[in-house]
Chain A
Amino acid sequence: MYGWMGKVIRINLNDNKVSTEKLDENLAKEYIGGRGFGSKTLFDEVPVDVDPLGPENKLIFAVGPLTRTKVPTSGRFSVSTKSPLTNTIFDSNAGGFWGPVFKSAGYDMLIIEGRAEKPVQITINENIISINDGSKLWGKGIKETDQLLKESLGKGYQNMMIGPAGENLVKISIISVNAHRAFGRGGVGAVMGSKNVKSISVKGSKQPEIFDQEKFDFMIYETDKWIKANPLTSKAFPAFGTSVLVNLINEAGALPTRNFQQTYFEDADKISGETIANKILVKNDACYNCPLRCSRKTKTNKMEGFGPEYETIGLMGSNLGISDIEAIAEMHYISNDLGIDTISLGGTISCLMEMSEKGLIDYKIDFGDIDKTKELIYQISKREGIGDELAEGSKRFSEKYGAVQYSMQVKGLELPSYDPRGMKGRGLGYATSNRGACHLRGYMIGPEILGVPKMLDRFNPVGKSGFLINQQDFFVVVDSLAVCKFVTFAVGEEFFARLFSTVTGVEKSQQDFLDIGEKVWTMEKLYNLKAGFSKNEDQLPKRFLEEPGTGPAAGQVFEQDIMLSEYYRSRGWDENGIPTNDKLKELGLEGIDYHA
């Protein structure tokens, strides 16, 4: 096979059985790799009613045909599982170096099943795959785990691991990649923890074969040209990373402030990308083969680490009423080391803060309280005291107190750092995303803030569904190839279809790609329908529908009904958000029982 390595590893931890399988060629051609492989495998092998933290759930890691090639940003890979936070089908995407090296070990996919009796660490060195005792690493933070693995395994290994939060089944825990990139969302760290897997390390030296090297080199040249020509990919991201967005989003009236009670933060300047560059930036850094270099190495007076990214700045900064960039960076380092998703963490703590402010809970914490917030991060990771309740995420936590209206989530996943009242298309993306409120299921920041590909009126609720749908479907392909979404600021589906064809020898048009994206998206939707999700879960919290935004979004609310019905119509679904029989037939998904 060209592009793919042609091999899958399956590890069953119930009996320590390791096997390798040939990659199904039809799966490769129809689902590409990464998220496509993960969603299809999960759909076929994990029934909707399994306990996400039980041995029947699976963790599926997959790379794509462009991974470990010269395609810029081709170091991404994905994990798919049933999420303990949302109970939906779920995939998360990470950068770093693990994915490309896994491919160099000779594989496209790793499926982990069952549960080990005791903590284990897994190592994959091409044909040698071993499951070793991981007790010595259990309980350690992510940085220390990475260090210990480097010392014990020797050179050339790339590590992926969970921190104490994942071990303690915190439902907002991450899987860390190379200790500073992450599968961040959905509590995937808890799934790894539930399987008693502390770490997975890989080593290898193989390379994928390219079908048409000469044409591929031409395509790479053309892609590089666009990356260099585009000011976002060549200047803004390298200079400021994702935090370049802080001021832009605030000026749009979409920066979450004090649990989304306001949409404009008066101190945005103090937490902006410019401030990071002036105060704490050490240098920028990158994932495998990435010229964008959006990652930041930073240092405060007391600590050092990577980040914070834009999302952390919004959720742990303005959304908690905190404007001290050093404190935000330190909370980010701590959360990373303990293995907690800072988006859900910020959304959960801000929910607690508002409940406390309103006297709905017997726990006192004010917006802006840095010390208590830091204390809570440790408590959540250990499930100690109130941390045990917060470890369930904001939805379950607030429901316990009859205060779910203060949890800013969709399908249980906390909102990222864009308020839908300042960006209506973004809100529609949250409502309709198969994994809950996610900013990467169609990146409406492009047309609503950055003018990519063209500027749309961000307050307009109509006529955006078609664009959003095409982006949602295209991003399935981006996650399957697998490349970084940020590179799509410079090049679109026509480039990726041509790159794919030259790498694999399998001819696909740009429209074929969008069709594959639609099929996978719809399959994910069917999984959720069968799991009991309905239109009732395609809903934003009432706050966004009833309480107007502030600052530049003053007077704006999210017009959910109009937007949702236009979206369903554009998808070819009925008014309840269920794909019609005609649509399922068109996608080759007819005959699937999706009734709950």
Chain B
Amino acid sequence: MHEQFKQVGRDLFLQNAVSSHGGNISVRVGDRIHITRRGSMIHNLTENDIIETGLNEDDSGIALASTELKVHRGIYKSTTATAIVHAHPVNAIALSLDQDVIVPLDSEASYVLHKIPVLSAEHTIGSEEVMNIVSDALKNYKIVMLRGHGSFAIGNMLEEAYQWTSELEVAAQIINIVRSAGINVQEYRKDSDKYEQW
């Protein structure tokens, strides 16, 4: 398990999807959660940086677990996901500041994600409010953005949740390039106007 955490953490950092100590990842096995340690260096996770704690019940693990444990628990309780990646992808965060939904322009993310809802909360870190809105949205989407904060992605395995995160950040980067360069997009996709309804 450590190997997978380490790889995903490193790759998130390399993609500019987290800062040195940002983001957190977890997997669920039954009623146990394995989650990154609060304040761990995500691009260089050691075995001691993966904390095991309960899905429902607190134990000493909560003293070490990520600040977002509450949100991870909430997501696991409302969905049957078995892995979560929470990241701070810079391009997607920038876009989330003025969008209610991110609709990719590139073909890959159009196929895979169609659209990414952007949610808003007053208290963006580890709050009950975030837990509720993110958990609810992830019942019907594999990745969502929290405005100004970052992404939450779910999967049946860590690699899946990582893939959605990576796809989102590439898609957002393309949108930002297109916007800043003032490129006039020639639509190549049939029914792309319907993606917002996804």
User: Are B29 and A570 in contact (CB-based, < 8 A)?
Assistant: yes
B30 pairs with A465, CB closer than 8 A = yes
Contact of A229 among B28, B111, B139, B155 (CB under 8 A): B111
Instruction: Report the Cα distance A222→B114, complex, angstroms.
Output: 10
> A455 to nearest B CB, angstroms?
9
> Who on chain A is nearest to B32 by CB?
A569
Q: Give every chain A residue within 8 A of B191 (Cβ-Cβ).
A: 218, 221-222
Chain B 1-38 per-residue mask, 1 if CB under 8 angstroms from chain A, else 0: 10000000000000000000000000111111000000
Q: How far is the CA of A215 from the CA of B155 in the complex (A)?
A: 26
Let me know if A569 and B31 touch, CB within 8 A: yes
Per-position 1/0 for B139-156, Cβ under 8 A of A:
111100000000000011
Give, as a whole number of angstroms, the nearest-CB distance from A428 to chain B.
Answer: 13
- Mark the stretch among A12-20, A145-153, A317-325, A506-514 that contacts chain B: A506-514
**Which residue of chain B has the shortest Cβ distance to A453 in the bound complex?**
B160
Name the segment of A348-356, A466-474, A537-545, A546-554 touching the other chain.
A466-474
Main secondary structure of the interface of A (DSSP, over half): helix
Residue pair A509, B30 in contact (C-beta under 8 Å): no
Among B45-53, B60-68, B77-85, B117-125, the stretch in contact with A: B77-85
- Nearest B residue (CB) for A468: B156
Asked if A226 meets B111 with Cβ closer than 8 Å, knowing A566-B30, A569-B29, A569-B30, the reply is yes
Task: Indicate if the CB atoms of A566 and B29 lie closer than 8 Å.
Answer: yes
Measured between beta carbons, the chain B residues less than 8 angstroms from A470 are 80, 82, 156
Shortest Cβ distance from A501 into chain B, in angstroms?
10
Known interface pairs A215-B197, A221-B191; A570-B139 also in contact (CB < 8 Å): no
Interface members, chain B 99-147 (any A CB < 8 Å):
111, 114, 138-142
For B140, the chain A residues whose CB sits under 8 A away are 494, 497, 509-511
Q: Is the CB of B1 within 8 A of A511?
A: no
Contacts A454-B159, A469-B80, A473-B80 given; does A463 touch B1 at CB 8 Å: yes
Residue among A447, A454, A456, A514 making CB contact with B80, cutoff 8 Å:
A514
The interface size of chain A toward B, counting residues with CB under 8 Å, comes to: 34
Give CA–CA (A500, B64) in the complex, Å.
43
**CA A473 – CA B81 in complex, angstroms?**
12
CA distance A225 to B188 in the complex (A): 14
Query: Taking the complex as formed, is A143 at the interface, i.e. its CB lies under 8 A from any CB of chain B?
Result: no
Give Cα A466 to B154, complex, Å.
13
Bound-state Cα–Cα, A136 to B4, Å: 64
- Count contacts between A and B, CB distance < 8 Å: 73
Min CB gap B165→A, angstroms: 14
User: A471: which B residues are within 8 A, CB to CB?
Assistant: 156
Question: In the complex the two chains form, is A467's CB within 8 Å of B156's CB?
Answer: yes
Report the Cα distance A218→B195, complex, angstroms. Answer: 9
Q: How many Å from the CB of A520 to the closest CB on chain B?
A: 14
CB proximity to B under 8 Å, residues A226-262: 226, 229
Q: Which chain A residues lie closer than 8 Å to B194 at the CB level?
A: 215, 218
Cα distance, A466 to B161, chains bound together (Å) = 14
Give bound CA distance, A471 to B155, whole Å.
12
A497–B139 CA distance with the chains assembled, in angstroms: 11
CA distance A498 to B1 in the complex (A): 34
Q: Is the interface of B mostly helix, strand, loop or mixed?
A: loop
Residues of B within 8 A of A453 (CB): 155-157, 160
Q: Is the CB of A466 within 8 A of B197?
A: no
Whole-angstrom distance between the Cβ of B51 and the nearest chain A Cβ: 17
- Contact A572–B80 (Cβ < 8 Å): no
Q: Tell me, in angstroms, the Cα distance from A469 to B79 when the chains sit together.
A: 13
Contact with B along A472-513 (1 / 0, CB 8 A): 010000000000000000000010011000000000011110
Please, how many angstroms separate the alpha-carbon atoms of A183 and B79 in the complex?
A: 33
Q: Which residues of B contact A509 (CB under 8 A)?
A: 139-140
Q: Which residue of B lies closest to A455 (CB)?
A: B159
Q: Is A518 an interface residue (CB 8 A)?
A: yes
Distance, CA A93 to CA B144, complexed state (A): 36
* Alpha-carbon distance A225/B192, docked complex (angstroms): 13
For A222, list chain B residues within 8 Å (CB): 114, 191
Check A512–B139 contact: CB distance below 8 A. yes
**In the bound complex, how far is the Cα of B27 from the Cα of A467, in angstroms?**
11
Within 8 A of B (CB), among A541-589: 566, 569-572
Report how far A510 CA is from B114 CA in the complex, Å. 15
Query: Which residues of B sit under 8 angstroms from A494, Cβ to Cβ?
Result: 140-142
CB nearest to A229 among chain B residues: B111
Among A456, A467, A473, A566, max chain B CB count under 10 A is at A467
CA distance A510 to B27 in the complex (A): 20
Q: Which residues of B contact A466 (CB under 8 A)?
A: 28-30, 80, 82, 156
Determine whether the beta carbon of A463 is less than 8 Å from that of B27: yes
Residues of A within 8 A of B141 (CB): 494
**Whole-angstrom distance between the Cβ of B82 and the nearest chain A Cβ:** 3
- CB-defined A-B contacts under 8 Å, sample of 25: A215-B197, A218-B194, A221-B190, A221-B191, A222-B114, A226-B111, A463-B1, A463-B27, A466-B28, A466-B29, A467-B82, A467-B156, A470-B80, A470-B82, A471-B156, A473-B80, A494-B141, A498-B198, A510-B139, A511-B79, A511-B138, A512-B139, A514-B79, A514-B80, A570-B29
Residues of chain A touching chain B, judged by Cβ–Cβ distance below 8 Å, are: 215, 218, 221-222, 225-226, 229, 447, 453-454, 456, 463, 465-467, 469-471, 473, 494, 497-498, 509-512, 514-515, 518, 566, 569-572
Instruction: Please name 11 further chain A to chain B contacts, defined as beta carbons within 8 Å, in addition to the given A226-B111, A494-B141, sorted by A numbering.
Output: A229-B111, A463-B29, A466-B156, A467-B156, A497-B140, A510-B139, A511-B78, A511-B138, A511-B140, A514-B80, A569-B29
**Residues of B that sit less than 8 Å from A by CB:** 1, 27-32, 78-80, 82, 111, 114, 138-142, 155-157, 159-160, 163, 190-191, 194, 197-198
Q: Which 9 A-B pairs have the closest CB atoms?
A: A569-B30, A466-B82, A511-B139, A509-B140, A570-B30, A509-B139, A454-B159, A467-B156, A218-B194
